[in-house]
A and B are shown apart, each in its own frame.
Chain A
Amino acid sequence: MSTITAPLLKRPGKEWPGHSLVVSEPLRLDCGIDFGPFTISYQTYGRLNAERSNAVLICHALSGDQYVAEPHPITGAAGWWTTLVGPAGVLDTERYFLICANVLGGCMGTTGPKDVNPATGEPWALNFPVITIRDMVRAQKRLIEHLGIERLFCVIGGSMGAMQVLQWASSYPEAVVAVVPIAGSARHSAQNIAFHEVGRQAIIADPDWCGGRYLSLGRNPARGLAVARMAAHITYLSEAALHRKFGRNLQDRNAVTYGFDADFQVESYLRHQGSTFVDRFDANSYLYITRAMDYFDLAAEHGGSLPAAFPGTQPRFCIISFTSDWLFPTSESRALVHALNAVAANVSFVEIETDKGHDAFLLHEPELFATLRGFLTGCAEHRGLTRFWD
């Protein structure tokens, strides 16, 4: 793949925009390790009201980060949820105080495998403990406590973000008013684990990966990470969306070249996705975060019973799926709805018709916006939340 170069990953530093919190009290991880001190990098939008009742925690997906609604500090691309966030937006910055933290194990400022292990002075690499979705949420809970917020108005996220949302509802139901898992699931399916394994093996097979020690050796397994991203990206779209966008169109040529250059637009597009991803993402973070998703199974945490994951008084749920999402299909959301029905939780469930696949949660989907706006407004009325000028 001649088009993908192998730049050295930009190192973390104090230059990340936003805030950071150093958590000194160690966190007991699912793997049994007491981990800490560690750093959480996070970004906020809007203002916390005097009652501290208008905080919304946004949970990002596998390849996301805390830069929800501002240009990305490395790529300069627009924030990943600018479709929702802003004054008078669905996540109205005049009404809500929005918080988004880079997940534990990430590579955008929160402690992850590319950061220096104080015990060795070298990057953690594979000595970083294996983390879970629950560990990510435990870290977020520390941040929320640090901000003096007893109860979040809402926790919202798509894909892996939805997993964190569900973990919040299960682990800290008393600390959330409303939860919105979008295009998510209560467990990672065999098919999804399989796709992740392909991505991880692509990274591990890259000679520049060096057993995970590439940073110490001044190398970067960019080709492997790019292939992982390319394969994953296909799963975020749908056959219909790929056909609509690219069809069999050729890239800057009138005929096929009888070679292995990117003849087709779809190939060129995927190569571009791969090569831009390696500029901003750490290969070991990709291994760790995909692993956290694979391990996610809320029912397994509760003796195999999904309803048992949601005991007692529950927050209001708004579960959303997309018709063309084959990565986290509607059946996963419906299983979740049934489990919540079994405990008579307050649930709304909407399946949105779209051909945009799993990535629909990041795109312009008016039906998604209207649903979210209605749900959040209803909950806000219930909680007596107003805009600052009201």
Chain B
Amino acid sequence: MADRSAALPLGMPAVAPSIAPPAPGELRRDLRLIAEMIEPGSRVLDIGCGDGALLAYLAREKAVDARGMELSQSGVNACVRHGLSVIQGDADRDLDAFPVGAFDVVVLSQTLQATRRPRHVVETLVRIGKRAIVSFPNFGFWRIRLSLLRRGRMPVSELLNNPWYDTPNIHLCTIRDFVGLCDEIGTKIERSVTLDRHGRPFSLDPRGGLANLLAEQGMFVLSGKTAAVQN
């Protein structure tokens, strides 16, 4: 899953582990934004939780019942070493067992583009979570478009910094693509935020063409299915 090398010290000596959440200022900016959206005391599942920076922060600062899922062994071990409840698994294979509404919030940050079945994953997120927060790099960002146009090669950016032949990002999409997927599966977009590369938010209508051109990342709060699609 996407690398979330953030604040938790991975090389911490084994003798003194405990939950050591990053201070608010140290939490990566987009994760901070997610943290702000989460009510204290809620049940949260962070999929692709990396080394657990967001979970540790939520557990300590918001008394959240924080659970995580992470593909990399080093990430899982770092989390469990720090007293977090994290299972080794991936979004494609290991989400199906959770019951409907198991969590208040399910977070999928910078990971959707690395899943094999993004549509199924999004459907599952809104099934097992009352709300889902999904963020992803926007392939419609103007620099990416320009790079492809000018160089004629697969774009490599700060957020998507792997060559095409060696990347976990196998299902890249634009903000417009994502909105289209949500419409198709009948998921309600409660809120959307467009972000620059540093995770700084700016407000643009995600359905407008400008957001798709100017935002480097999109962050969406989804919930259940819209009334129109529910049968």
Contacts of B204 in A (CB 8 A): none
Neighbouring B residues of A379 by C-beta, 8 Å: 83
Residues of B within 8 A of A121 (CB): none
Interface string of B142-172 (1 = CB under 8 A from A): 0000000000000000000000000000000
In the complex, which residues 337-373 of chain A have their Cβ closer than 8 Å to any Cβ of chain B? 337-339, 341-344, 346-353, 366-367, 369-371, 373
Residue B130 lies at the interface, judged by CB distance under 8 Å to chain A: no
Contact (Cβ within 8 A) A375 B98: no
Does B86 sit within 8 A of A, measured CB to CB?
yes
Distance (whole angstroms) from the CB of A311 to the closest CB of chain B: 13
List CB contacts (< 8 Å) of B45-86 with chain A: 65, 67, 73, 76-77, 79-86
Given the known interface contacts A349-B88, A349-B89, the answer about A338 and B14 at a Cβ–Cβ threshold of 8 Å is no
Distance between B64 CB and nearest chain A CB, rounded to angstroms:
13
State A377–B14 Cα separation when bound (angstroms).
Answer: 11
> Within the assembled complex, what's the spacing in Å between the Cα atoms of A366 and B13?
11
B99 touches A375 (CB 8 A): no
Give Cα A339–Cα B14 distance, bound, in whole angstroms. Answer: 31
When C-beta atoms are compared, the residue in chain A nearest to B19 turns out to be A378
Is the beta-carbon distance between A337 and B86 smaller than 8 angstroms? no
Question: Per a CB cutoff under 8 Å, which of B14, B88, B102 touches A370?
Answer: B14
B24 at the interface (CB under 8 A from A): no
Q: Across the interface, which residues of B come within 8 angstroms of A247, CB to CB?
A: none
- Given the complex of chains A and B, what is the CA–CA distance between A299 and B99 in angstroms? 18
Interface range, A side = 20 to 34
Docked complex Cα distance between A146 and B64 (Å): 37
Task: Check A347 against B18 for contact (C-beta < 8 Å).
Answer: no
Q: Is the CB of A342 within 8 A of B77?
A: no
Query: Roughly how many angstroms separate A342 CA and B94 CA in the complex, as a whole number?
Result: 11
Contact A351 B99 (CB under 8 A): no
A316-B85, A349-B87 are contacts. A374–B17 as well, Cβ < 8 Å?
A: yes
Is there an interface contact between A337 and B80, defined as CB atoms closer than 8 Å? no
Chain B residues positioned under 8 Å from A381 (CB to CB): 18-19, 83
Q: How far is the CA of A366 from the CA of B11 in the complex (A)?
A: 13
A338 touches B94 (CB 8 A): yes
CB distance A339 to B97 under 8 Å? yes
A373-B81 in contact given A342-B99, A378-B19 (Cβ < 8 Å): yes
Task: Report how far A370 CA is from B79 CA in the complex, Å.
Answer: 11
| A104 to B102 alpha-carbon distance, docked (Å) | 39
With A342-B99, A377-B17 known as contacts, the answer to whether A350 contacts B85 (CB < 8 A) is no
Name A residues whose Cβ lies closer than 8 Å to a Cβ of B.
88, 316, 318-319, 334, 337-339, 341-344, 346-353, 366-367, 369-371, 373-375, 377-379, 381
Apart from the given pairs A337-B94, A348-B76, A351-B88, 10 other A-B contacts in the complex at a CB distance below 8 Å: A337-B87, A338-B94, A338-B97, A347-B67, A347-B85, A349-B89, A351-B73, A373-B14, A374-B82, A381-B18
